[in-house]
Structure 1
Amino acid sequence: MTDQATTEAALVGGPYDGETRSAGDTGLIEIENDGLVHRYIRTSKSQNSSIVYNYDGVVNPAGAEDGAEHSAERVATNVDPDGNS
């Protein structure tokens, strides 16, 4: 196990590409910015004595929001396994 106080993360991709952060032994780094959370996932690679964390994308902490498809308008369709309408 590594010393949490000295483990540095090299962030790769996303808006923080090229930056380093203190990471400890965590497998996930989340950085909040402008109401969104950017996620970086730990890898088995190292770079300049830092552990590499790859960009995993951005999430809205408020949860999923309707886009082009509205969940309230979804309709279930009954399908006959024999192919009859």
Structure 2
Amino acid sequence: MSLSNIIEVIGVIIPSVISSFAIWQNYKTIKNANRPYISVYLDYTTLPYKNKYLAIKNFGKTPAKILSLSFETHLDKGNDQFKLGFIIGGTICPG
């Protein structure tokens, strides 16, 4: 194998590796940009009655599916038995 053939092979391999890395990096960037970002917080209202709500919001760009839900402390009397199980399997739309 001559020197010119070795240079040609290196000239083909290096751009192929660089373009493969660029494609992989682009895939990761698109995947992270389009994923759901879920936030859970308490929301309060005072008019006409003082109420407290558990708000679950999706700030991402794609829908999120609730696969499971767990709590570290006990819930109130009305929710302690079911532990909000009715929302498991539900979808949270972005927005």
TM (norm. structure 1) is 0.23
Larger strand proportion, structure 1 or 2? Answer: 1
TM (norm. structure 2) is 0.22
Larger helix proportion, structure 1 or 2? Answer: 2
